[in-house]
């Protein structure tokens, strides 16, 4: 498209469907549905050391890691590492609050990105993804509770 090249940002469907089909988050989603999901997201790449999410800044998004590694950093302290198949950004989007952490690419990072305002319709339209995400959150909560006790 010659003026605004939004078409050029369309993700390469087949390769991405194959990739995310292996992620726990999408384990229950049939193929045709995965194609629609992939089209909702934009693919983004980040150089080593680049900030993906910024602590305290409004308007963040939901990210799923396709390749690479990211660190969650709060007030300069690294708290966790995330890798292929992991996701982040959902807490600030769900709560409508700014992120409480920076997320940094620790090596070249490739993600699927969904803008915050598209997150609710995405989950409502895909209840099996919502269920898997709830499971992941339950695991995180259990780990946090164990750490506290």
Partner 1 sequence: MAELSAPFPPGEYPVVVVGSGPGALQVSYSLSRLGVDHAVISADPSAGGMFRRWPFFQRLLSWTKPHAPAERGSREYERYDWNSLLGADPPSTAIQPGLMDGTSYFPSRPEMEANLVAFAERGHVAVRYGCRWTATRRVEGADGERFEIETTDGVYRSKVLVLAVGVAEPYTPPGPAKEHSIHYADVRPAETYADRRVLIIGKQNSGFELATGLLPWARQLVLVSPSKVKLSVDTKTLVGVRARYVQPYEDHVLGGGVNVLDASLDRIERAPDGRLTVSLRRTDGGADLALEFDDVISATGFVAPLLDLPELGVQTVGQSRLPVQTPFWESTTVPGIFFGGTIGQGAKGLQKHGVPANSGAVHGARYNARVLAARIAQTHFGVEPERPHLSAEAIPAFIGGELAGAPELFHQRGYLARVLTADPDGGMRDDGVQPLAHVLDQGGPDALAATLEGDGSGAIYPVIYSRIGGKVVEHAVEPDPLMRFDTVDSRRTILDLVGRVTR
CB of 133 to partner 1, least distance (A): 19
Question: How far apart, in whole angstroms, are the C-alpha atoms of residue 4 and residue 9?
Answer: 10
Write out the E strands in 1-149: 42-46, 51-53, 61-74, 77-82, 87-88, 102-115
Using CB under 8 A as the binding rule, whether residue 74 contacts partner 1 is answered as: no
Please give the residues from 11 up to 40 whose contact with partner 1 meets the rule CB under 8 A.
Answer: 11-15, 32-33, 35-36, 38-40
Return the number of the residue (8 or 95) whose C-beta is nearest partner 1. 8
CB of 71 to partner 1, least distance (A): 15
- Contact residue for partner 1 among 20, 29, 61, 103 (CB under 8 A): 61
Site mask, partner 1, residues 101-140, x = CB under 8 A? -------x-x--xxxxxx----------------------
φ/ψ of 123, rounded to 5, equals -70, -40
How far, rounded to the nearest angstrom, does the alpha carbon of residue 57 sit from its chain's CA centroid? 17
Kindly list the distances between the CA atom of residue 134 and the CA atoms of 13, 23, 99, in Å, as whole numbers in the listed order.
26, 15, 19
């Amino acid at each position: 498209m010659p003026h605004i090249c939004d078409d050029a940002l369309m993700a390469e469907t087949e390769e991405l469907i194959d990739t995310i089909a292996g992620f726990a988050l999408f384990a229950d989603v049939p193929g045709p549905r995965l194609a629609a999901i992939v089209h909702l997201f934009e693919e983004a790449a980040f150089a080593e050391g680049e900030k993906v999410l910024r602590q305290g800044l409004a308007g963040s998004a939901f990210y799923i890691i396709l390749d690479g590694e990211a660190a969650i950093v709060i007030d300069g302290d690294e708290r966790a590492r995330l890798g292929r198949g992991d996701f982040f950004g959902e807490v600030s989007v769900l709560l409508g609050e700014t992120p409480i952490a920076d997320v940094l690419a620790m090596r070249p990072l490739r993600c699927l990105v969904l803008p915050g305002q598209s997150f609710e319709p995405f989950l409502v339209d895909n209840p099996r993804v919502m269920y898997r995400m709830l499971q992941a959150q339950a695991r995180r909560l259990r780990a946090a509770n164990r750490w506290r006790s």
